[in-house]
Amino acid sequence: MVRSIVVDTDTGIDDAHTLLYLAGRPDAEIVGITSVFGNCTEEDAVRNIGHVTGLLGLDVPIARGAAEPMAGVAHIAGYVHGKDGLGDRGYERPLPEVTGESGAELLVRLARERPGELDLLALGPLTNLGLALRLDPDLFTRYRSVVLMGGSGPYARPGTLLMVDANIDNDPVAARAVFAAPRERLVMVGVNVTAGTILDERAIAALRATDTPTARFATEILESYLDFYQHEWGRRIIPLHDPLAAGVLLDPGFATAAVDGPVNVVGNGFQTRARLMRTHDGLPPSFAYEPAPDTHVITEVDTARFVADFVEVLTS
């Protein structure tokens, strides 16, 4: 079965890899893309969408989305993805042709035109989704599924630290609206599983050894990402955050364990996370929380099988 996918993206390095991955999978069809701030500014995000779709020869509707969160100030991760979001390689990135509607409006229009047929893949801050829910509070019931890269899973085992939940932290207001909204199926692929899904030296070497435009581009934009993550593990390796969310959308078998339950967006005064309201051993937390419809929260993945598939797609 071919899944028709609308992609909402703050087009940084792993977002670009995700578009390459989706375009290379025979069971995926990208039918629309919306831009949002996050890994880079919204303008850079839409320029990067145009660059990647041009490289792939994709002609799909593109709409410009939110340049700032629903409340507060945008935090741009140029120190991770490069100032332009693609590692500052100097690519010519003219503004692509856009539909003229907002990102939120495109998300609503496509869902109403093809109810029950489309999947929505959200790879950045959830601002466009939050704004779209203001236009259509039942929006998620019109998508076959909504899969997002964000969140932190259940509460971790005591003493365990997690990577920053950047997409949620960048717009907690929008995230709260997303997790409270009625839905057909909402899947959270959070940093609890993406941070351990590693493209290691061997996999990166396989990409570098492949002389195709897609593989060359995928490796060219890696350097900024590797420069950042080498300070996490002392090795020039990266996590496949956004690609894993796409993989789970296309092949739910990549997820080997999941829990259904309410998700709340909670802060500690420094940063905000989306949490399944369960402890690591499946118990409710020891404080009151807001009721919410069930979200399908991924808790374990077959990382070896996914990474092998990702490399095969980008090198074939």
Per-residue pLDDT of the chain (316 residues; tens, 9 = 90+): 899 999 999 999 999 999 999 999 999 999 999 999 999 999 999 999 999 999 999 999 999 999 999 999 999 999 999 999 999 999 999 999 999 999 999 999 999 999 999 999 999 999 999 999 999 999 999 999 999 999 999 999 999 988 999 999 999 999 999 999 999 999 999 999 999 999 999 999 999 999 999 999 999 999 999 999 999 999 999 999 999 999 999 999 999 999 999 999 999 889 999 999 999 999 999 999 999 999 999 999 999 999 999 999 999 9
How much is the pTM?
0.98
Catalytic residues: 241
Q: Which CATH class is domain 3-315?
A: alpha beta
Domain segments of the chain: what residues? Answer: 3-315
3-state SS of the chain is CCEEEEEEECCCHHHHHHHHHHHHCCCEEEEEEEECCCCCCHHHHHHHHHHHHHHHCCCCCEEECCCCCCCCCCCCCHHHHCCCCCCCCCCCCCCCCCCCCEHHHHHHHHHHHCCCCEEEEECCCCHHHHHHHHHCCCHHHHCCEEEEECCCCECCCCCCCCCCCHHHHCCHHHHHHHHHCCCCCEEEECHHHHCCCEECHHHHHHHHCCCCHHHHHHHHCHHHHHHHHHHHHCCCCEECHHHHHHHHHHCHHHEEEEEEECEEEEECCCCEEEEECCCCCCCCCCCCCCCCCCEEEEEEECHHHHHHHHHHHHHC
